[in-house]
């Protein structure tokens, strides 16, 4: 499991931010939860030959099972 956190700051259009946060709230999720999930998925899909931590691979399997 992930043990530490690091802050990531990025700029986004205010209208996109508002819509994104509304959709997250409708799904009872925080924007941070959704961003972390998107980043995990992106890493898994684009890691190439990189060796990934076991906890990250486990997240991918769970996400795929949930999508079925």
37, part of any domain: yes
Number of domains present in the structure of the chain: 1
Res. 1 pLDDT band, cuts 50 70 90: low
34, part of any domain: yes
40, part of any domain: yes
14-25 residue pLDDT tens: 999 999 999 999
Host domain of residue 44 = 29-67
Res 48: pLDDT: 85
**Is the full-model pTM beyond 0.75?**
no
20-61 residue pLDDT tens: 999 999 999 999 999 999 998 998 889 888 888 887 776 544
52, part of any domain: yes
Give the Å distances, CA to CA, from 60 to 2, 19, 21, 45. 14, 27, 24, 10
């Amino acid at each position: 499991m992930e043990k530490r956190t690091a802050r990531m700051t990025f700029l986004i259009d205010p209208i996109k931010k508002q819509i994104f946060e509304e959709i997250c709230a409708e799904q009872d999720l925080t924007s941070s939860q959704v961003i972390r999930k998107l980043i995990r998925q992106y890493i898994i899909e684009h890691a190439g030959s990189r060796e990934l931590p076991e906890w990250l691979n486990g997240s991918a399997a769970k996400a795929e099972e949930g999508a079925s």
